[in-house]
Structure 1
Amino acid sequence: MPDTKPLQFRQLKSACSNCSVLELCLPIGLSGQEVERLDALIVQRFKVRKGAALYREGDPLRSLYAVRLGSFKTNVLSVDGREQVTGFQIPGEMLGLDAISTDTHACNAFALEDSEVCPIHFTHLEKLAQQLPSLQHNLTKLLSREIVRDHDMLMLLGTMNSDERLAAFLLNLSQRLNQRGYSAKNFVLKMRREEIGSYLGLRLETICRGIAHLRDQGLVEISGRDVKIHNLEGLKQMIAGCHRPTLC
């Protein structure tokens, strides 16, 4: 895979049982012995440089990828080359689920920063899941989460104004980062504002105005890519009643 960089041999063992995002990833709920069997499927972790593709639309399904370090975006391109961002993935989340139905990827996945993934060969994973009901249950939950994510996105685009969409995005990212032990109020955006706009269905100038509006209300201050949330409860109240605050 030309866009990726394998780790050195001494680093190849993935050690799911010692991973910092184990509780958020595919092995959740598995026993120690079951985690070891899943760990054996991960031949090697590998790094993906910033801007490089993990996979592209039309590539055959080979593996699912657990994000261990860094972050990614998924997107699709229109016939005339316009980008539509479909999601952002951070440690503990899975990439590649889009290919399960047709055995080919329906989108592109690019690293937003220097990142690292754990590839899990899908055919081997299916066979192991048949032997481990807990693993099969986790796979089903992952697929269900994708469906819920799509429903949430449709709700966001259909019922929220531009400021509410931006507030929901920042609140969701805050919650996901906090689950991973990071600050809920101070973090760095790995994606560009144009990419956020594409994901939320908003123009760049609308995103910029929304950032100014949130600042003027004393809710959030964004300088460059540095985010400081001054009022989490205010953000929650802003979108209360129009959408579940757990969009991911």
Structure 2
Amino acid sequence: MATTPIDVLTLRRGCAHCTLQQLCLPAGIGREELERLDEIVKRKRPVEVGERLFRQGDGMDSVFVARDGAFKTVLVSEDGEEQVIGFHLPGELIGLDALGSGEHRCEAVALTRANVCEVPFDDLSGVAARIPGLQRQLMRVIGQSVGRDQDHREILVRRQASERIALFLHGLSERFEKIGQAADRLRLPMSREDIARFLGLALETVSRGFTRLQEDGVIAVHGRKVEILDMDELQRLAHGAEGDAPPKKGARSG
């Protein structure tokens, strides 16, 4: 009985801008293995702004990756206050917070309209066990998620608000570059209020910080579009070196 040939080029284009390209297409993968991977990936309907992929306390059934769009992960207190603990760009896995306990300790909320792939975790683990190299690549992606959590903790221990803001923008720039987007031209999917909650700062403090960076010629801000004009200076500020060098000509002091 004849089988329908798999369109490998279409599959490759479909995962071209997400971490599932690394998970699904390791070097040397065969047709049968690729078909199996494509079978377990569920392409969900578009997710609307504010819609949740999962809530606190939900069991871990799947991991998710946004083919486009972005998400935030939040902790919600008993009185409904949100603490933003992470942002997820296109191609970054969402839902790994439940790996330890089997239950999600946060909620994943769409910041923009997004198209999401859902990958049943048990199926992914089973396929990874049978495909050489896939398990290592899965662990690498999990490690990247852990690294972002560590970066967030590093931000929160910084005493100066200017350091937190600079470190946030510099880290975001690196992440945009990793997913194939411009590192110096960022379109922020999150609001200033979300940034403030992520950085542990007041909204007014974040707004003043962006204004100061713009007045000092480090960035240019147009709504949610941020152009990094001086990457070296942003990196210097991100690592607490604000007082190590004199301000640039034309930059305001204080």
TM-score range, shorter chain: 0.7 to 0.9
Out of 21, 26, 49, the position equivalent to 2:23 is: 26
In structure 1, C-alpha distance between the alignment counterparts of 2:77 and 2:149, rounded to whole Å: 19
Bigger Rg over Cα: 2
Q: Does structure 1 retain, via aligned residues, the 8 Å contact 2:72–2:111?
A: yes
In structure 2, C-alpha distance between the alignment counterparts of 1:209 and 1:45, rounded to whole Å: 40
- Counting matched residue pairs gives 230
Residue 17 in 1 paired to residue 17 in 2? no
- What secondary structure sits across from 1:102 in the alignment? coil
Residue 98 of structure 2 aligns with an amino acid whose one-letter code is A
Q: Which residue of structure 2 aligns with residue 9 of structure 1? A: none
- What is the deviation of 1:76? 0.7
Identity within the alignment, %: 36
Q: List per-residue Cα deviations over 1:172-212 (Å, max 9, x = no partner).
A: 22222233332222232111101001111111011011111
Gap change, CA 1:30 and 1:16, over 3 Å in 2: farther
RMSD of aligned alpha carbons: 2.3
Which region of structure 1 is more displaced relative to structure 2, 35-44 or 18-27?
18-27
- What is the deviation of 1:22? 4.8
In structure 2, C-alpha distance between the alignment counterparts of 1:239 and 1:32, rounded to whole Å: 41
- What is the deviation of 1:28? 5.8
In structure 2, C-alpha distance between the alignment counterparts of 1:22 and 1:158, rounded to whole Å: 31
In structure 2, C-alpha distance between the alignment counterparts of 1:191 and 1:37, rounded to whole Å: 35
The runs of 5 or more residues in structure 2 that have no matched partner are 1-7, 242-254
- What secondary structure sits across from 1:235 in the alignment? helix
Which region of structure 1 is more displaced relative to structure 2, 78-87 or 134-143?
134-143
Q: Which residue of structure 1 aligns with residue 193 of structure 2? A: 194
Q: Does structure 2 retain, via aligned residues, the 8 Å contact 1:16–1:22?
A: no
Q: Does structure 2 retain, via aligned residues, the 8 Å contact 1:17–1:32?
A: no
In structure 2, C-alpha distance between the alignment counterparts of 1:42 and 1:164, rounded to whole Å: 40
In structure 1, C-alpha distance between the alignment counterparts of 2:178 and 2:146, rounded to whole Å: 21
- What is the deviation of 1:160? 4.8
In structure 2, C-alpha distance between the alignment counterparts of 1:31 and 1:162, rounded to whole Å: 48
Q: Which residue of structure 2 aligns with residue 6 of structure 1? A: none
In structure 1, C-alpha distance between the alignment counterparts of 2:240 and 2:211, rounded to whole Å: 23
Gap change, CA 1:28 and 1:104, over 3 Å in 2: same
> TM-score, with normalisation over the residues of structure 2?
0.82
- What is the deviation of 1:93? 0.4
- 1:136-147 alignment, distance < 5 Å: 136-147=135-146
In structure 1, C-alpha distance between the alignment counterparts of 2:166 and 2:117, rounded to whole Å: 32
